[in-house]
Amino acid sequence: MDFTKFVSLLERRALFFARADKLGDPFEGAIPISNREARYTSLKSRLSDKEILIHEHLRVELRRFTLISCWHESSHESEAMWKIYASANSGIAIKTNFSSFVESFITDEKIHIGKVQYIDYDSEKIPEDDLLSPYLHKRKSFEHERELRAIIQHIPPEAGLENLPNFLGDETPTWPDMCDIGIYYDVDLNLLIQEVVIDPSAPDWLLDLVERVVNRYDLQVPVNQSHLAALPVWFPPDRIDEVSHQEEE
């Protein structure tokens, strides 16, 4: 995230969940080709063509009611993630672990947390036993993200399969947006944040500024620059003086 989003997190003490259709990937909520063929065969045995079209339209509509918080899961930092998601050498990452992440939420909402699986949408299938599966699978082109997601779904009660006969008129069913781009959900920042990490190419003043902001919000967490900012050591420390002396001679 950038500095402004970091301050927003501290000020609101809340995590932002974005609408699935606003994440930028047109495949969010979509299913692979094999799933589409199998689903059509299954639906054809019990629904009319009109009902099938409405059923699939409701699946597309569900993207507006699916809210997602995206995280990178790894034991080490990713240079690619810094370059993609940090802006103008001022990126900030917060580090947590799974249990702290789960326990940090202060909400009665049902939150689903899971790892994203990366598959070939032209040849592989995904499970179809729930409405979350399409949001826990992405194309292999996104494997570098190593993503873990927290998902909240607000399914309109009228959108169930049993209500399809109510939508057989000329108009395609739709519902008002529940939000413009997403919703904030309260979290315990002291549980959520274990470390604040600064962009490896960020200037020293940003590190100092973030430390001041963290202190201002009474967070007892370390603030460090990315390990990727470290420089290589070309000689063992105990040989540096010896090499320098030889060069002077």
Tens of pLDDT along 139-194? 999 999 999 999 999 887 665 555 555 555 555 667 778 889 999 999 999 999 99
The pLDDT assigned to 135 comes to 97
User: Among 179, 186, 190, 183, which Cα is nearest to 107's?
Assistant: 186
* pTM, rounded to two decimals: 0.86
- The stretch 89-96 carries a mean pLDDT of 93
- Return the top range by mean pLDDT from 26-35, 51-60, 225-234, 235-244: 26-35
pLDDT, tens digit, for every residue of 29-68? 999 998 988 888 888 888 788 778 877 888 888 899 999 9
133 burial (CB, 10 Å; 0-12 / 13-18 / 19+) is middle
Q: Residues near 19 by Cβ (< 8 Å), separated by ≥ 6?
A: 63, 64, 65, 66, 67, 68, 179, 181, 182
- Nearest-angstrom CA–CA distance, 226 and 79: 10
First vs last C-alpha separation in the chain = 50
The pLDDT assigned to 173 comes to 64
- Nearest-angstrom CA–CA distance, 14 and 10: 7
Q: How is the beta sheet containing 66-72 ordered, strand by strand?
A: 112-115, 147-153, 66-72, 14-19, 182-186
The pLDDT assigned to 47 comes to 77
* Higher pLDDT, residue 101 or 40: 101
